[in-house]
Amino acid sequence: MSSYFFLSLAALLFTLSLLPGSTSLPTSTTTIGATYSSGTAATYAMPPTPEKVAHAVAALGLRSLRLDSSDPTLVRAFLYSNTTLLLTIPNQMVPPLAANRSNALRWLYVHVVPFYPRTKISTISVGNDPLESSPDFSTFLLPAIRNLHLSLRDLGIRKISVSTTFSFISVITTPFPPSSAQFLEPALDTVVRPLLQFLRDTNSSFLVNLYPYNLYKIRSEIPIGFPLFQEHPFGFRDDLTTGVRYRNLFDMMVDAVISAMAVAGYENIPLIVTETGWPSFSTDPTEIDANPVYAELYLKGLLCHLRSGKGTPLRKEGVSETYIYELLDKQMRKGRNWGILYPNLTAKYKYIQFSGSYCRGFFDMLIMAVGQFLVFAFLRGNGSFSLL
Ligand SMILES: *[C@@H]1O[C@H](CO)[C@@H](O)[C@H](O)[C@H]1NC(C)=O
Ligand SMILES: *[C@@H]1O[C@H](CO)[C@@H](O)[C@H](O)[C@H]1NC(C)=O
Ligand SMILES: *[C@@H]1O[C@H](CO)[C@@H](O)[C@H](O)[C@H]1NC(C)=O
Ligand SMILES: *[C@@H]1O[C@H](CO)[C@@H](O)[C@H](O)[C@H]1NC(C)=O
């Protein structure tokens, strides 16, 4: 009986020692936010008021919010709040912004000037996934970005940076291993390289929507634990070129972007993940991985990983900001639910902490310890346990 007690104690200590260190100081800090799609009657049955959205974001402890269309009433709702906003200019605005700088100035007079700096605004993304838009306006992208940047300078605003947002799948080719990743041609020469030069010149970040879920869906050889941050001794992939070992798909995708930038000749551009998440539901019944258990594992694993301060193998300081897709479940007849909040603004995942520095709460440690104890007890009962 007493050996049984010691065994369980050892199991508990072993478990605790496995938990990523909440005691060691992080070397990287990633700001965690969420994306919010503007609430029209088509998106939400009962669109929440901007004030309610601002309140929900603060209550969750999220430090930043990305707005997909930069509705001025939303920007106004964040006056004097501690939430930093990343604004997005819709794709159809790109050609007019490129055509005439006074259009850029006019956009700023409506969306930024009345509120800034009382509303904190860090970044403006000109377009979202512009390479996928039709008609193709990629030739307008850089002129539009420059016009917006110059207009901000005309207004004496120097602290808001300007960029655009790409989607991983539409801009990166051959992502595995990460060292082989490159930007797709012809976008590399026409759009991406000039953009990277602009980002370097203006000290701005590269923005990317990055979904391990989508890659997992199209790559059947990836085991489910890998995108879900379920570390176990054999769950890794090596990049033989760099000699780096990957234990989750998120890091592999981030490093694929870092590698592609390096290959294009731009190594130290900061990276912001503008969208990432896992669907908790799909109207397609065959999409069995879209469930709340996996969604919660992904979000917990992601937050825990970002807070560990380890960065990624190729970028010790990690990504500078990550926006979870998305804040609120949309109303839909067909598709997936990604929200961390239900449409009535209540939390979907009771045990996820979006703020603070602790990786796992006491509750999780208890559950894990109990799980580990059961495993150890089971192994001992079968006489096959030999670690002690
Ligand atoms: C913002 O943060 C500061 C410092 O942490 C705090 O004093 C202030 O009350 C916060 N404001 C709001 C609106 O939460
Ligand atoms: C830009 O727009 C302004 C105001 O709408 C107009 O006066 C000006 O002629 C336009 N410039 C060009 C180059 O189209
Ligand atoms: C570049 O941006 C970083 C963080 O956004 C800031 O700390 C740094 O001072 C900036 N450098 C220049 C030259 O503006
Ligand atoms: C909010 O919606 C969720 C999901 O539909 C439901 O389970 C919950 O009871 C609702 N909460 C309130 C306070 O209405």
Domain extent at residue 224:
26-359
Same domain, 224 and 236: yes
Cβ of 83 closer than 6 Å to ligand 1, yes or no, is no
Which residues make Cβ contacts (< 8 Å) with residue 88, sequence separation at least 6? Answer: 66, 67, 68, 69, 70, 124, 125, 127, 128, 165
Give the whole-number percent of the chain exceeding pLDDT 70. Answer: 84
pLDDT digit string (tens) for 260-296?
A: 999 999 999 999 999 999 999 999 999 999 999 999 9
> Between these two residues, 263 and 377, which has the higher pLDDT value?
263
Cβ of 79 closer than 6 Å to ligand 1, yes or no, is no
Same domain, 7 and 96: no
Select from 65, 82, 118, 119 the residue to mutate for testing ligand 1; criterion: most ligand atoms less than 8 Å from CB: 82
Residue 347, classed as helix, strand or coil, is: strand
Q: How many domains does the chain have?
A: 2
> Between these two residues, 46 and 236, which has the higher pLDDT value?
236
**Residue 369 pLDDT more than 80?**
no
- Ligand number nearest CA of 29 is 3
Same domain, 3 and 85: no
Same domain, 273 and 245: yes
What backbone phi and psi angles, to 5 degrees, belong to 385? -90, 125
Q: How confident is the model at residue 380 (pLDDT cuts 50, 70, 90)?
A: very low
Please give the pLDDT value at position 173: 95
Same domain, 65 and 10: no
Same domain, 130 and 245: yes
CA 82–ligand 1 middle distance (angstroms): 6
Please give the pLDDT value at position 46: 82
Beta bridge partners of 208: 166, 273
> Between these two residues, 113 and 382, which has the higher pLDDT value?
113
What backbone phi and psi angles, to 5 degrees, belong to 293? -70, -50
Q: What's the start-to-end Cα distance of the chain, in Å?
A: 16
Q: Ligand 1, residue 80: give the atom nearest the CA.
A: 13
190 DSSP assignment: I
pLDDT digit string (tens) for 221-253?
A: 899 999 999 987 778 999 999 999 999 999 999
Same domain, 331 and 386: no
CATH number, domain with residue 298: 3.20.20.80
CA 80–ligand 1 middle distance (angstroms): 9
Taking the C-alpha atoms of residue 163 and residue 66, their distance in angstroms, rounded to an integer, is 13
Taking the C-alpha atoms of residue 51 and residue 368, their distance in angstroms, rounded to an integer, is 38
Same domain, 101 and 115: yes
Which residues make Cβ contacts (< 8 Å) with residue 274, sequence separation at least 6? Answer: 35, 66, 86, 125, 128, 165, 207, 208, 209, 323
Mean pLDDT for the stretch of residues 287-310:
95
Taking the C-alpha atoms of residue 151 and residue 32, their distance in angstroms, rounded to an integer, is 29
Q: How confident is the model at residue 305 (pLDDT cuts 50, 70, 90)?
A: very high
Same domain, 378 and 312: no
Q: How confident is the model at residue 378 (pLDDT cuts 50, 70, 90)?
A: very low
Please give the pLDDT value at position 38: 82
Mean pLDDT for the stretch of residues 26-47:
81
**Residue 341 pLDDT more than 70?**
yes
pLDDT digit string (tens) for 13-32?
A: 444 444 444 444 555 689 99
Strand stretches in 29-169, DSSP E: 31-36, 64-67, 84-89, 120-128, 161-167
Q: Is the pTM of this model over 0.75?
A: yes
Same domain, 255 and 117: yes
The mean pLDDT value of the chain amounts to 87
CA 296–ligand 4 middle distance (angstroms): 18
Same domain, 72 and 33: yes
Residues 43-68 as b or e (16 or more Cβ within 10 Å = b): ebeebbebeebbebbbebebbbbbbb
Residue 218 contacts residue 245 (beta carbons within 8 Å)? no
Same domain, 15 and 35: no
CA 349–ligand 4 middle distance (angstroms): 12
